[in-house]
Amino acid sequence: MGDNRVPLVDRSGFQRSVSHPQDEFQTFRTYLRWMCMDQSNIWTTCLSWFLFIVLGLVVPSLSHFLLACSTCDAKHARPYDWVIQLSLSSVSATSFVCLTRFIKKYGLKRFMFFDKLYNESETVRKGYTAQLNRSLKIVSIFVLPCFLAETAYKVWWYASGASQIPFLGIVWLSDSVACFMELWSWLYRTTVFFLVCVLFHLVCNLQVLRLQDFAQFFQVDSDVGLVLIEHLRIRRHLRIISHRFRTFILWCLILITGSQFTSLLITLKATSGLNIYKAGELVMCSLTLLTGLCILLRSATKITHKAQAVTCLASKWHICATLDSFNVNDGETPRTPAIHAHQVFPRVGTDGESESEDVGDEEDDLDNNKLIPAYAYSTISYQKRQALVTYFENNRAGVTVYGFMLDRGTLHTIFGIELSLVLWLLGKTVVFS
């Protein structure tokens, strides 16, 4: 009889929130451990902070003050080294502090929302797990090309005899150690920065998957109460993401903007004498920082756009159900929902063109121009549908930074401010004779 007992609660869904060595985060934990970002005990915490201080602060400072080479020729001079070191160190310090706080306060599974996945559909779970496995490849795609270019430049700089500081007694050994430490420092700072950016991208993609799954509520005969509860849960998770990442996003925007304007100011001097040897490393630094910032802003605006597209979807669902109810009330013979929707609403776009036309890859169940089969007119009253649409119109969800919604309008505002500052700076520095 004991073998036939049925548990009162199905605990199979909770298996994903239990930590074990072979779970989804095995590769991710190994990656953090090799980066010395594992702070699970006092020894690994001390090692993590020691490595950050050495590679993030000490090595860049020594590189600038000891290897600036102010007496070198035009090819080996590094007049913009202080901007590069200060920019990378400040952004990596912000990333390190935020990542340390995230992992220490929430834990990896809770921070990545894996403890909540048992409530999601199989489509969302599989999609999020696949994106998690692909996230480290994204970091490598962005970091490795710039690292290879940085390695080529550093090897050339040391091999050509620019540095003559035999602090180990042997010149070639001293140069090899200095070159290795500089490259290690650059790789460490850049990887920490991109890691936090990709983590933000990952949790935003989870909400995109959830919103796409949420759109299925409007394709079936759903209860308004269930739709409201699910949307409130998504809004809560978006507020959590905004609260966790708002400081990081704001500081990255400030630091990277300041870095780019400082770079623009010092390179526009009449005596700058720009060439690939002087400014090549500065270009790579700027490219790295701007790429990370673009990942942050694109991820935030994408999830905000998808969250706000729910209002359009609900309005379309409401009007289709209303029109269908009027057609039935006018004396037409009721038919099954699928057949009736097919005949009343032919599968065409808003301009009469066939849906088989190429409309790009941006359309999905959440954001498209397809008419919705009317399942709701017979089971959901007009007042409930109208109340739900009104709720969506007055409760727009998305990622915010201290109350400011990160949508496309905000991006246009940021671009306008940045462009105005650039034009003002050019007006103060560039003189046409």
CB 275 within 8 A of CB 181: no
For residue 297, name the pLDDT band (cuts at 50, 70, 90): very high
Predicted local confidence at residue 407, as pLDDT = 87
Q: How confident is the model at residue 369 (pLDDT cuts 50, 70, 90)?
A: low
Q: What is the pLDDT of residue 86?
A: 93
Nearest 5°: phi and psi at 20? -150, 160
Mind listing the pLDDT tens digit for each residue in 225-240? 888 888 898 899 999 9
φ, ψ for residue 354 (rounded to 5)? -70, 150
Range in 70-79, 121-130, 134-143 the model is least confident about: 70-79
Quickly state the pLDDT bin for 389 (edges 50, 70, 90): confident
Q: Is the pLDDT of residue 166 over 60?
A: no
Per-residue pLDDT at 363: 62
Token pair recorded at residue 419: 């462009």
Helices 81-106 and 42-52, axial angle in degrees (round to 10): 160
Answer whether residue 144 shows pLDDT above 70: yes
> Can you give the pLDDT at residue 426?
77
Query: Which tokens is 279 given?
Result: 């400014």
78-92, 119-133, 323-337, 379-393 — which is least confidently predicted? 323-337
Q: What is the pLDDT of residue 2?
A: 46
Question: Which pLDDT value is given to residue 24?
Answer: 61
For 168-219, what is each residue's pLDDT tens digit?
667 777 788 888 999 999 999 999 999 999 999 999 998 888 888 888 877 7
| Residue, of 3 and 80, whose pLDDT is higher | 80
pLDDT one-digit tens code per residue, 6-20: 343 333 443 434 444
Q: How high is the pLDDT of residue 196?
A: 92
Does 358 fall in a domain? no
Instruction: Give the model's pLDDT for residue 339.
Output: 40
For residue 50, is it within any domain?
A: yes
What average pLDDT does range 256-283 have in this prediction?
81
pLDDT at 327 over 60: no
Percent of the chain clearing pLDDT 90 (strictly above): 20
Task: Report whether pLDDT(401) > 60.
Answer: yes
- Return the half-sphere exposure (C-beta side, CA atoms, 13 A cut-off) of residue 169: 0
Tally of domains in the chain:
1
Q: 160 in a domain, yes or no?
A: yes
Residue 394 lies in a domain: no
The predicted structure's pLDDT at residue 227:
84
Q: Is residue 59 included in any domain, yes or no?
A: yes
Write out the residue range of the structural domain in which residue 249 sits.
Answer: 22-70+77-298
Q: Is residue 202 part of a domain?
A: yes
Confidence band (pLDDT; 50, 70, 90) for 160? confident
pLDDT (0 to 100) of residue 112: 83
Give the pLDDT confidence score for residue 318 in this predicted structure: 80
Contacts for 385-388: CB closer than 8 Å, 24+ residues apart: 385/224, 385/317, 385/318, 385/321, 385/322, 386/318, 387/224, 388/224, 388/227, 388/228, 388/314, 388/318
pLDDT band at 365 (very low <50, low <70, confident <90, very high): low
pLDDT at 23: 54
Q: Which residues of 248-273 are buried (b: 16+ CB within 10 A; e: fewer)?
A: bbebbbebbbebbeebeeebeeeeee
In a domain, 227, yes or no: yes
Q: Lowest-confidence range among 188-202, 226-240, 343-357, 413-427?
A: 343-357
The whole-chain average pLDDT of the chain stands at: 77
165 pLDDT exceeds 70? no
Position 288 pLDDT exceeds 80: yes
pLDDT score at 228: 87
The pTM of this model reads 0.80
Residue 137 — pLDDT band, cuts 50, 70, 90?
Answer: confident
At residue 324 the predicted structure's pLDDT band, cuts being 50, 70 and 90, is low
Q: Which residue has the higher pLDDT, 323 or 127?
A: 127
Q: Would you state the torsion angle of the CA atoms of residues 123, 126, 130, 131, taken in this order, to the nearest 10 degrees?
A: 50
* 183 found inside a domain: yes
Q: How far is CA 96 from CA 53, 192, 214, 243, in A?
A: 11, 6, 34, 17
**pLDDT level of residue 334 (50, 70, 90 thresholds):** very low
